[in-house]
A and B are shown apart, each in its own frame.
Chain A
């Protein structure tokens, strides 16, 4: 029960403790683990979400993020520091993209279904397909994922690359970014991860939940078919 500020703050502090405990065991470095998070997305039933762990540079004195609009209409978002999601949303709105950005510590995720899935965003996978280690199956899962409007619109390339041409009027780019709060020490680890999905209309508020496997780097091999 999180009825009061006192209760909610306690819950946040315990989450912080959990993150610290986890982080102590898995120091972060720069690796991508696309495969791991495709599987995670399946478990959560958010099959069409683009969820990957991405390297990120955090430094003081740098702006919190950089937004670049390219001549071809794509928008590149590089996040240097996890703060000010509201401003990112405002800046994206100026570029014509309605976005809903959430920052979380790594180990946390939005546990609820927040989006109203858009048409074409429902590739069907069996749990076996999602869990499969067979390169052929993995490649086919990946190909299906990449064919969804969400993946086309919000791509985990060069930070986050947004393709407004795949976002129809009324649709919202829902992006969740989770950062590992322990700085890299040279060992493999997850630096941060991103989930992106389009929603028909506004997204529901994020209900923060644990994501215990967020710190697992898998075997750090590139996803098949890439």
Chain B
């Protein structure tokens, strides 16, 4: 017999627990996506995908391995990467919930505002585009999404020591780019 896991294991089964989780993180997820996607309809589709993925994988969350938000950003990031691999059309066709169909009235304007508000973060990520992939992923989560290095390591599933080394390298590389200095990179931090 399996012992009941503490943590997120229940949210996939308990609508009330799920609602609490959803309300707590909905904004963070849309902001995370708005920093990386410029189109409100796609943000809506992806938000739906992320929370469906949460239902699918809540059992993989281990409280000992980092905060809830780190885990959720990991899920969000994987969803986004999967979307970039597939065509957007394919994503919509296979999705169980078409996020964009739920957009009504002011929703699009609200998402557009959110996307606009995140434009400094997008500039920061553009500045980091030249970094090696593994350093860039980490730097984004720390400098733009506001995770601690330990949380970012958990989100990416890497060891904290590895994360520290990569961050150090990434910072040095960024300082060498004229016009891109850490203050700009830090703009998206909360």
Query: Size range of the interface on B?
Result: 20 to 34
Q: Which residues of the other chain, B, contact A78 by a CB distance below 8 angstroms?
A: none
Contact between B97 and A16 (Cβ–Cβ < 8 Å)? Answer: yes
A83 contacts chain B at the CB level, 8 A cutoff? yes
Decide: B99 and A9 in contact? CB cutoff 8 A: yes
CB distance from B9 to the nearest CB of A (A): 14
- Is B51 interfacial (CB-CB < 8 Å)? yes
CA distance A64 to B92 in the complex (A): 13
- Would B15 and A5 count as touching, CB distance under 8 A? no
Whole-angstrom distance between the Cβ of B98 and the nearest chain A Cβ: 9
CA distance A218 to B19 in the complex (A): 33
B84 in the interface (beta carbon within 8 A): no
Closest to A64 in B: B93
Any B CB within 8 A of the CB of A84: yes
* B104 to A: closest C-beta gap in Å: 7
A9 touches B93 (CB 8 A): no
Within 8 A of B (CB), among A64-95: 64, 83-84
Question: Would you call A83 and B93 a contact (CB within 8 A)?
Answer: yes
Q: Is the CB of B13 within 8 A of A6?
A: no
Indicate which residue in B97, B106, B110, B111 contacts A12 across the interface (CB closer than 8 Å). B97
Interface residue B12 (Cβ < 8 Å from any Cβ of A): yes
CB closest residue in chain B, given A83: B93
Contact with B along A190-215 (1 / 0, CB 8 A): 00000000000000000000000000
CB-defined contacts of B103 to chain A, threshold 8 Å = 5
Could you say which residues of chain B place their CB within 8 Å of the CB of A12?
48, 97, 102
By the criterion CB–CB under 8 Å, are B19 and A14 in contact? Answer: yes
CB neighbours (8 Å) of A181 from chain B are: 96
CA distance A105 to B52 in the complex (A): 14
Q: Is A44 an interface residue (CB 8 A)?
A: no
Interface residues of B in 1-48 (CB under 8 A from A): 12-13, 15, 18-19, 22-23, 26, 44, 47-48
Q: Are A20 and B96 in contact (CB under 8 A)?
A: no
Specify which chain A residues have a CB less than 8 angstroms from the CB of B113 in the assembled complex: none
Which 8 pairs from chain A and chain B are nearest by CB? A5-B107, A8-B102, A12-B97, A83-B93, A14-B15, A6-B26, A13-B51, A9-B102
